[in-house]
Structure 1
Amino acid sequence: MPLDLVNYEHQAREAVKTFWGNRAAAQQKQRASGAADQGERAGVTAGKNMDGFLGLVVDIIRANGLAHAEICQNRAMLTLPGHFRPTKLWDLLVMHQGTLIAAIELKSQVGPSFGNNFNNRTEEAIGTAHDLWTAYREEAFGKQPRPFVGWLMMVEDAPESRSPVRDKSPHFPVADAFKGASYLNRYDVLCQRLVQEQLYTTATVITSTRSAAETGTFAELSPMTGLKTFVTALAGHIAAEAARLG
């Protein structure tokens, strides 16, 4: 039975429209109310920006054999035990018959502070995955097959994210892959290495401009970190688990 990718490109374009539309609406609401939470932060704290991508993930799960799985999106049901900390709150969890099928993080970054935010996102992604896999090894989820662990990042396409960046490292040279790389390229390298080191089943970065609120246009940086790789890997994992548990 072929995998069902649920017309993911169309859904992704709608998700991009939702992302930029929700940010703009949140900022406008903040300005109208005169609240202190202004500027870019107003768009971030709205909390609904990545809902379109959540919908895409849910459709993939439903379409590939686990229609009756428990897809957790409510905050009260999104916590997993950790190893280095008591718990971790995820963006989406998939449970079926007491088994953790998938854990997914959806992140975004909009300028202008690409440098600090890139470092924070990198440390967060690595720490989250290492904590989960250590907890898995120690059977915090019981004895079960490895779950799908996904990381999807949306980054604004802007001059600051596309421009080459110079780094200072006085004692040892910076890795060649990062020399003169833009923040978009650094996210691409990060995602590739997160997968190569088996920290995530798949890690994806897509980019779009603010004008995509009208068109939903987005771009990918490499096949390895592209959206099709993410949705195909997720659909394949769901289909395999459906066959195993069915």
Structure 2
Amino acid sequence: MAIDLCNYETKAREATMAFWGNREKARQKQLESGKADQGERSGVTAGKNLDGFLALFIDLVRANGLAHAQIHQQRALLTLPGYFRPTKLWDVLVINEGRLIAAIELKSQVGPSFGNNFNNRTEEAIGTAHDLWTGYREGAFGQQTKPFVGWMMMVEDAPESRRPVTDRCPHFPVFKEFIKASYLQRYDILCQRLIREQLYTAAAVLASPRAAVSTGDYSEMSKLTGLKTFVAALAGHVATEAAK
């Protein structure tokens, strides 16, 4: 049976418009209240700006054979046990007949502080995956096959995120792939290596300009880290679980 990708391109454009629209609404609301956060934080603190993508992932689960699975989005139901820490909060969890089917985390980064945020996001992504898989090995989820573990990043498509970056590393050379690579290119390298090292089943990075609030435009850095690869991997995993 062919997997159903749920018209993901149209839904992704709608989700991208909502991402930028929700950020702007949050910023305006805080300005009107006279309690605006500094910098870009005002567009982040008011809620989940990537809910449109979560809705797409839920549609994929429902359409590919697990219509009756438990899909959790409420904060109180989004924690999983960890190995190096007691629990970890995810953005969406899919559980079917007591088995963890999927755990997905969504992140975003809007300028201008791409440098520090890139390093923080990298450390978080690696640590989260290592914690989950160690817990899986130690039986945190019982006896079951590996779940789908996904990580998706939305990055502002701007001159600052596409500009070549110079690194200082006086003692040993950095890997050549990072030399003069922009932050968007670095996210692409990160996602590719997260997949290669089997830390995530799928990892995607999308780039979108602020003007996409009216168009939903977004671009991808490579096929391996593109949205189609991500949604196809999720749909295929769900279909396999449904067939058991």
TM-score bin (small chain): over 0.9
Residue identity in the other structure for 1:183? Y
Q: Secondary structure at the match of 1:127?
A: helix
What per-residue deviation string (whole Å, max 9, x for no partner) do you get for residues 155-197 of structure 1? 0000100000000000000111100000000000000000000
Residue identity in the other structure for 2:163? S
Residue identity in the other structure for 2:52? G
What per-residue deviation string (whole Å, max 9, x for no partner) do you get for residues 186-213 of structure 1? 0000000000000000000000100000
Distance in 1 separating the partners of 2:25 and 2:170 = 44
State the match for 2:4 in structure 1: 4
Equivalent pair of 1:30/1:38 in contact (CA under 8 Å) = no
Q: Secondary structure at the match of 1:215?
A: coil
Q: Secondary structure at the match of 1:119?
A: helix
Distance in 2 separating the partners of 1:181 and 1:39 = 25
What per-residue deviation string (whole Å, max 9, x for no partner) do you get for residues 37-81 of structure 1? 243101011222000000000000000000000000000000000
State the match for 1:22 in structure 2: 22
State the match for 1:143 in structure 2: 143
Distance in 2 separating the partners of 1:133 and 1:84 = 11
Distance in 2 separating the partners of 1:134 and 1:204 = 23
What per-residue deviation string (whole Å, max 9, x for no partner) do you get for residues 133-153 of structure 1? 000000011010000000010
What per-residue deviation string (whole Å, max 9, x for no partner) do you get for residues 219-238 of structure 1? 00000000000000000000
Q: Which moved more, 1:85-94 or 1:33-42?
A: 33-42
State the match for 1:194 in structure 2: 194
Distance in 1 separating the partners of 2:239 and 2:48 = 28
TM-score by length of 2: 0.99
State the match for 1:122 in structure 2: 122
Deviation for aligned residue 1:36: 4.2
1:242 aligns to 2:242 (yes or no): yes
Distance in 1 separating the partners of 2:47 and 2:180 = 33
Q: How many residues align?
A: 244
Equivalent pair of 1:27/1:38 in contact (CA under 8 Å) = no
Distance in 1 separating the partners of 2:96 and 2:223 = 31
Distance in 2 separating the partners of 1:138 and 1:47 = 34
Distance in 1 separating the partners of 2:36 and 2:237 = 44
Distance in 1 separating the partners of 2:121 and 2:45 = 16
Structure 1: gaps (5+ residues): none
Q: Secondary structure at the match of 2:233?
A: helix
1:85 aligns to 2:79 (yes or no): no
1:63 aligns to 2:55 (yes or no): no
State the match for 1:102 in structure 2: 102
Distance 1:120 1:58, change over 3 A: same
State the match for 2:169 in structure 1: 169
Pairwise CA RMSD of aligned residues?
0.6
State the match for 1:227 in structure 2: 227
What per-residue deviation string (whole Å, max 9, x for no partner) do you get for residues 57-113 of structure 1? 000000000000000000000000000000000000000000000000010000000
Residue identity in the other structure for 1:107? K
Equivalent pair of 2:27/2:36 in contact (CA under 8 Å) = no
- Shift >4 Å, 4+ stretches: none
Q: Which moved more, 1:191-200 or 1:46-55?
A: 46-55
Distance in 1 separating the partners of 2:85 and 2:189 = 28
Equivalent pair of 1:80/1:87 in contact (CA under 8 Å) = yes
Q: Secondary structure at the match of 1:62?
A: helix
Residue identity in the other structure for 1:215? T
What per-residue deviation string (whole Å, max 9, x for no partner) do you get for residues 120-143 of structure 1? 000000000000000000001101
